[in-house]
């Protein structure tokens, strides 16, 4: 008879009795659990398909790597938006940056012009040093003096919140209404300087602020550093040009 989970089937054969008086039935029972066997078969099929997909992906050389999303001039620090992950077939001899290594290249300067759509390589980015003509300035920022989510690679305007006169004072120069006066740093005349964020760290516990390092022009570095030491610096995020 049949039961839940499987069926039992019996087979029998008619055999003539030794005394010649009629026949007797001989046979044996055979059973199986069809439902269980079907389930095992489905599992095996799923496992085989999964293995095929994984092994097939490896055999065709497909890898998750970083590509450049927009042109990046030499010397500019790579921002998170400058790269993205793609799955491509790459020859093992080609140098690439794995998608999981984005943190190792973001915030580093481009060692050569990077074209949009090109595969990124470690040799295409320089060390975390500074290009010629720029300086690295640190600043401790209070809540409200920086845009939320500011990160390494962001292009910013560094505002000297003490005003123009303060900017001239911290730069060690006298204010002047004549743009061409010698000895007045550019940041003193505008109370701001353009820069690129190189690193961002949390401020002291409970302060809610940030400690940032900003790459600025060498001509603006002293004034920005003095204003930062006085706690009179704010960051404004600017778009790419």
156-189 pLDDT, tens digit each: 999 998 754 444 444 444 444 444 444 434 444 4
Tokens of 10: 């019996």
Number of continuous H segments (helices) and E segments (strands) in the chain: 4, 10
Distance CA 135, CA 222 (A): 9
Confidence grade of residue 34 (pLDDT, cut at 50, 70, 90): low
Exposure on the CB side of residue 116, measured as CA atoms within 13 A: 4
138 burial (CB, 10 Å; 0-12 / 13-18 / 19+) is middle
Confidence grade of residue 154 (pLDDT, cut at 50, 70, 90): confident
Angle of helix 163-170 relative to helix 218-229, nearest 10 degrees, comes to 110
- Nearest residue to 153 (alpha-carbon basis) of 96, 98, 105, 219: 105
For residues 7 and 41, which has the higher predicted lDDT (pLDDT)? 41
Contact 32, 6 (CB under 8 A): yes
DSSP, res 103: G
- Of the chain, the percentage scoring pLDDT greater than 70 comes to 66
- Of the chain, the percentage scoring pLDDT greater than 90 comes to 29
Three-class DSSP category at 72: strand
Distance CA 39, CA 5 (A): 11
Mean pLDDT, residues 93-121 taken together: 88
Q: Domain-by-domain residue ranges, the chain?
A: 2-59, 62-124, 134-237
| Fold of domain 62-124 | Type Iii Antifreeze Protein Isoform Hplc 12 (3.90.1210)
């Amino acid at each position: 008879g049949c039961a839940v989970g499987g069926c039992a089937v019996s087979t029998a054969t008619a055999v003539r009795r030794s005394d010649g008086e009629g026949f007797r039935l001989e046979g044996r029972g055979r059973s199986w659990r069809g439902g269980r066997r079907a389930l095992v078969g489905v599992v095996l099929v799923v496992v085989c398909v999964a293995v095929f997909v994984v092994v097939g992906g490896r055999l065709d050389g497909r890898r998750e790597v970083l590509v450049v999303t927009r042109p990046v001039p030499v010397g500019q620090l790579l921002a998170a938006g400058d790269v993205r992950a793609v799955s491509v077939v790459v020859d093992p001899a080609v140098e690439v940056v794995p998608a999981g290594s984005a943190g190792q290249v973001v915030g580093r300067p481009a060692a050569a012009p990077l074209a949009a759509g090109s595969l990124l390589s470690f040799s295409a980015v320089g060390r975390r040093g500074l290009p010629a003509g720029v300086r690295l300035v640190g600043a401790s920022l209070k809540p409200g003096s920086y845009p939320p989510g500011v990160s390494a690679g962001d292009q910013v305007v560094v505002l000297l919140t003490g005003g123009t006169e303060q900017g001239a004072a911290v730069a060690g120069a006298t204010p002047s209404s004549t743009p061409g006066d010698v000895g007045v740093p550019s940041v003193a005349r505008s109370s701001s300087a353009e820069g690129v964020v190189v690193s961002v760290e949390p401020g002291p516990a409970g302060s809610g602020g940030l400690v940032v390092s900003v790459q600025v022009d060498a001509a603006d570095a002293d004034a920005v550093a003095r204003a930062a030491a006085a706690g009179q610096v704010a960051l404004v995020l600017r778009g790419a040009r």
